[in-house]
Structure 1
Amino acid sequence: MKSALQAYVDGFNSGDPAAVTSLFADDAVVADPVGNPPIEGRAAIDEFYTGAVGAGAKLSLDAPIRGSHGDRAAMAFSVHMPGMRIRVIDIMTFGDDGRIVRMEAHWGPGDVES
């Protein structure tokens, strides 16, 4: 799980949305941020990450990636975009095949810096 989250960061930072979306199951759900309507299914997830990576988002870890003894891993990181920084904690749930089945991004207006 930790290596999958590192691959997520690396995919963003190399400008490769396909590397990011390949980590997700076809029926995965993305909540970014939690509380917004979920992004569901392969086509919607591909579109979401193509837009995010295309907007020039780069990620930097704020702490080491954490894994659990179960099916989840988390990372605290910052999203850097032109003129803005967003501090985020992502929690990913993994399926038996090692692919992400649910991504929850925890951040709100108070986590956005200009």
Structure 2
Amino acid sequence: MDPTETRRRFRAAVEAGDNAAAVATFAPDIVLRSPIINGQFEGRQAVGDLMAAVIETFEDLHYTAEAAADDGTQILAFSARVRGREIDAVDLVRVNDEGLISEFVVHIRPMAGLAAVAAVLGPRIARGPVSRALVRLFATPLAVLLALVDPLVPRLVRTRAG
């Protein structure tokens, strides 16, 4: 299958909120590198669980651009809201010879939005109740702090020449 067709099938599944159809585009050995952990999610089940949490919690997720790089990497840009905070993201997707997504790299901005994503997704994908509590303990204050600081940052840094 053409990598572009795989990208389109994945996009349509996510836009429809159909996690099963999204997971059907994943290779059994898919690897997803997340912006919220220094590691990766491995395998269709783990990445599928993460994708289900994304589909359930991201509000107004809509794709804004898509393209293919010269090396075949598929690129999807999207916007969404998480807890009312706007985010922009780019997914870099590699498709294997069977037409399934084998590698997925996610980039999210701004930092306050990324912190909101961590605070929402972290507890949903944690391994158990103790892990869930620890994730909430660490991620929630960071999200609150960055939400408070975010409006001040443009006043504190030079965003224009001169």
TM-score by length of 1: 0.81
1:108 Cα deviation (Å)? 4.4
Structure whose residues are more often helix by fraction: 2
Offset from partner CA, 1:57-96 (integer Å, 9 cap, x none):
4422223x11134331112211334412211111111111
Residue identity opposite 1:103 in structure 2: F
1:13 Cα deviation (Å)? 2.2
Q: In 2, distance between residues paired with 1:3 and 1:22?
A: 13
The equivalences for 1:49-68 within 5 A come to: 49-63=51-65, 65-68=66-69
| Structure 1 unmatched runs, 5+ | none
C-alpha RMSD over aligned residues: 2.4
| Structure 2 unmatched runs, 5+ | 115-146, 148-162
Q: RCO (CA 8 Å, sep 6+): is it higher in 1 or 2? A: 1
The equivalences for 1:86-101 within 5 A come to: 86-101=87-102
Aligned residues: 113
Residue identity opposite 1:85 in structure 2: E
Structure whose residues are more often strand by fraction: 1
Change over 3 Å in CA distance of 1:82–1:4 after alignment to 2? farther
Higher Rg of the two aligned structures: 2
